[in-house]
Amino acid sequence: MHEMSLAEGILRIIEDQAAERGFDRVLRVRVEVGRLAGVEVAALRFSFDAVMNNSVAESAVLEIIDTPGQGWCLDCGTSVEISALYDACPLCGGYRVQATGGMDMRVLDLEVDTADPQPSNSGAPAR
């Protein structure tokens, strides 16, 4: 299952970040999934839970940001929104649409719980 290797890729990013920033618990992981990326969200969620087991992200919530597919219609000369590769152009119904966006999956950010939190500027006065 290809979603399993995607989840493993997410875990590697999380572990690199954990080593770099020194957090020990991840609360939330935001992942952007393009509609043309060929990722099955249900399978990704399942794989995520399996892969994050016994990691810093064991109890993390996976938040998936669904981004629309973008295409360029050669007939209209216009950028259009498409929901699948090889979709017809929503404007003219033509099939000469080249996918230009929404083909990737990437980790946007992590919400983490640090054991030793950074001092914050909000709240108490500075002195």
Q: Which residues contact 122 (CB under 8 A, 6 or more apart)?
A: none
CB of 97 to Zn ion, least distance (A): 7
Residue 77 Ramachandran class (φ > 0 left, ψ -120 to 50 alpha, else beta): left
Of 11, 89, 105, 112, which lies in the binding site for Zn ion, with binding defined by CB under 5 A? Answer: 89
How many angstroms from the chain centroid is the CA of residue 3?
A: 12
Of 24, 58, 66, 75, which lies in the binding site for Zn ion, with binding defined by CB under 5 A? Answer: 75
CB of 82 to Zn ion, least distance (A): 10
Q: Which residues contact 56 (CB under 8 A, 6 or more apart)?
A: 14, 15, 18, 23, 24, 25, 26
Applying CB under 5 A, the span of 55-63, 70-78, 102-110, 111-119 interacting with Zn ion comes to: 70-78
Of 64, 76, 85, 99, which lies in the binding site for Zn ion, with binding defined by CB under 5 A? Answer: 76
Q: Is 92 in the site for Zn ion (CB under 5 A)?
A: yes
